Amino acid sequence: MKKEFIFLGPPACGKGTQTEKLAKYFGFPHVDTGSLLRAEIKAETENGKIAKTFIDKGMLVPVELVGSVIKNRLSQDDCKNGFILDGYPRSLEQAEMLENIKAEIDNGEEVDFRAIYFNLDQSVLISRIVNRRSCAKCGEIYNLKFKPTKVDGICDKCGGELIQRKDDNEEIAKARFETYFHETAPLIEYYTNKNVLRTINADGSIDEVWERLKEVVE
């Protein structure tokens, strides 16, 4: 049976790390909305050109355009057995659009669809954000408390210098959580009502959370 997963959770809850692990575990593509849009812009596709005009102005990319990009990606052959969707949907409007997209690409096929919610206390999340560092060279993400490098300030993968993003501070982190809980948290109720929501405790090491995730996706 085809398996389809979406990941829900606030910033710094660990979705990205676990998405990559789950994609390798099942052999499914990890469909990241942000990366898709950047790829469209780089390739100068029609969708990419339109998206760039909004992004350059600091505006949100229209829901219909994001939906079109998602639909094109999920319609590709490597998604025929399943996929893991990361960063979408982020609102009830997008969730309803995803239902329409799935209806087309699934074409009546029986599907095991689950929304995985990463539940984590806000104080832990803020601690993760202010201690987050990324490699200036390859982009690998680390955390001074939960995932430190072997050599302080140096990336394990490429030897690049670690930097802290300007928006990785407590004030901005709290603002991002307010946005998340206002716009995205209603999806928890939406998918609970559809009986497809699975909640995991996202507090703990990467391996501990991974074991909990495997229990709800099998």
In a domain, 174, yes or no: no
Of the pLDDT bands very low, low, confident and very high (cuts 50, 70, 90), residue 215 is very high
- This prediction's pTM: 0.79
- The reply to whether 82 falls in a domain is yes
7: domain CATH number is: 3.40.50.300
**Residue 83 pLDDT grade (very low, low, confident, very high; cuts 50, 70, 90):** very high
Mean pLDDT of 207-216: 95
- pLDDT: which is higher, 133 or 145: 133
Query: For the chain, what is the HEC assignment?
Result: CEEEEEEECCCCCCHHHHHHHHHHHHCCCEEEHHHHHHHHHHHCCHHHHHHHHHHCCCCCCCHHHHHHHHHHHHCCHHHCCEEEEECCCCCHHHHHHHHHHHHHHHCCCCEEEEEEEEECCHHHHHHHHHCEEEECCCCCEEECCCECCCECCECCCCCCEEECCCCCCHHHHHHHHHHHHHHCCHHHHHHHHCCCEEEEECCCCHHHHHHHHHHHHC
Q: Yes or no: say if 212 and 201 are a contact pair by the CB < 8 Å rule.
A: yes
Q: Name the residues annotated as catalytic.
A: 15, 90, 132, 165, 176
| Cα dist from 2 to 5, 63, 98, whole Å | 10, 26, 16
- Predicted local confidence at residue 170, as pLDDT: 82
Given this model, what pLDDT does residue 100 score? Answer: 94
Question: Is the residue at 128 inside a domain?
Answer: no
Would you say residue 144 lies in a domain? no
- Is the pLDDT assigned to residue 128 strictly greater than 90? no
**What pLDDT shows up at residue 160?**
96
| 78: confidence class by pLDDT, cuts 50, 70, 90 | very high
Is residue 112, in this structure, part of any structural domain at all?
yes
CB 93 within 8 A of CB 63: yes
Nearest-CA neighbor of 91 among 122, 112, 124, 60?
A: 60
Percentage of the chain beyond pLDDT 70 is 100
The predicted pLDDT at position 33 comes to 83
**How many domains does one find in the chain?**
1
Instruction: Using the predicted structure, report yes or no on whether residue 176 has a pLDDT greater than 80.
Output: no
Q: CB–CB of 22/84 below 8 Å?
A: yes
User: Mean pLDDT across the stretch 181-202?
Assistant: 92
* Residue 153 belongs to a domain: no
73 within a domain of the structure (yes/no): yes
pLDDT at res. 54: 85
62: pLDDT strictly greater than 80: yes
Does residue 65 belong to any structural domain of this protein? yes
**Residue 79: which domain range?**
2-121+184-217
